[in-house]
Amino acid sequence: MPELPEVETVKRGLAPVMEGRVFENVVLNRADIRFPFPSNFKSRLVGTTLITLSRRAKFLKADLSSGETLLMHLGMSGSFIIGAARGRENPKHDHVIFTMRGEKTPIIYNDPRRFGFMELLGQDKLGRLANLGPEPLSNNFHGPALYGALRGKKSPIKTALLDQRVVAGLGNIYVCEALYSAKISPLRKSCHVNEAQCERLCTEIQKILERAIKAGGSTLKDFSAVDGSLGYFQHRFKVYGQEANTCHNKDCTGKIARIKQSGRSTFHCPKCQI
């Protein structure tokens, strides 16, 4: 599922065919996905220029010449396809089709589970971006900042890292991976994660995200890269989905366990993550 690195990959794939282009046509194949599309969605887009496409947390943000901002979230299974709408294997879940002036092929938004959504924000409106925590790859994200965000929190560190107000852009997979690499138990209370551990956690989060972005984003079976490239599914995680495998941290003989935390699967090594 798309987490920060996947969204970043999508952004990089879409920017060359969207930035600086005028929306020539917008087709909606249904009135809503997770939420209803904004009123007059098509007429508010057609004729405007997409000035800048950027990413904030797991959101794609398109600044328009009209002054409005198109905010897009991929949810669990959303993907963009640059290519012909016809001859697609499963056009069933093609919900939005953008045509940019001067571009040969349309840009299709496909989302089987419809957990994604699109919104239009007025000028100076932050909307859902207002309460997001720091970008993990920015200078605002560092040990002391994380420590400050965690103290006073009684929830487990795993849960806290999924809270987009603490750090923005992580999902279940990368949280498991980061805690594993930092050798911190997902069950540890947030307020009991000390300064040194916060420092380590920040470093690991950044390393993991950077590596994943470099790899073009990693993915599970229902997410595909913006160009539909395969081989995208081959990504192996160190701990996520590795239940019962032997921990391969150095000098550890533990076995990867799977537990549930606030309804989500957590994979961890009970022996070396403390």
Residues that bind DNA (CB under 7 A): 1, 3, 34, 57-59, 73, 75-77, 90, 92-93, 112-115, 128, 153-155, 159, 162, 164, 171-173, 190, 221-222, 262-265
Q: Which is nearer to DNA, 1 or 182 (CB)?
A: 1
104 given a catalytic annotation? no
Own/partner long-range contacts of 203-207 (Cβ < 8 Å, ≥24 apart)? 204/178, 205/136, 205/141, 205/167, 205/170, 205/174, 205/178, 206/136, 206/137, 206/141, 207/181
Shortest gap between Cβ of 5 and DNA (angstroms)? 12
The DSSP H or E segment spanning 225 is none
Q: Which is nearer to DNA, 27 or 191 (CB)?
A: 191
Please say whether the beta carbons of 264 and 162 come within 8 A.
Answer: yes
- Please name which of 88, 78, 97, 85 lies closest in space to residue 30, comparing C-alpha atoms: 97
Shortest gap between Cβ of 101 and DNA (angstroms)? 31
Rounded CA gap, 258 and 272, in Å?
Answer: 15
3 given a catalytic annotation? yes
Identify each DSSP E strand in 17-173 by its residue range. Answer: 23-28, 50-56, 59-64, 69-73, 79-82, 94-100, 107-110, 117-121
- Please name which of 88, 67, 66 lies closest in space to residue 79, comparing C-alpha atoms: 88
* Residue tagged active-site, from 42, 113, 128, 264: 264
Q: Which is nearer to DNA, 22 or 34 (CB)?
A: 34
Token output for 257: 């366990």
Q: Which residue has the tokens 């299709």?
A: 108
16 given a catalytic annotation? no
Q: Which is nearer to DNA, 34 or 42 (CB)?
A: 34
Q: Which is nearer to DNA, 42 or 56 (CB)?
A: 56
Token output for 152: 């006073």
* Residue tagged active-site, from 58, 188, 200, 238: 58
Shortest gap between Cβ of 68 and DNA (angstroms)? 19
Q: How far is CA 129 from CA 58, 73, 132, 195, 231, in A?
A: 10, 11, 6, 28, 32
Shortest gap between Cβ of 260 and DNA (angstroms)? 7
| The pairing of beta strand 264-268 with beta strand 257-261 | antiparallel
Shortest gap between Cβ of 2 and DNA (angstroms)? 7
114 given a catalytic annotation? no
Known catalytic residues are 2-3, 58, 264
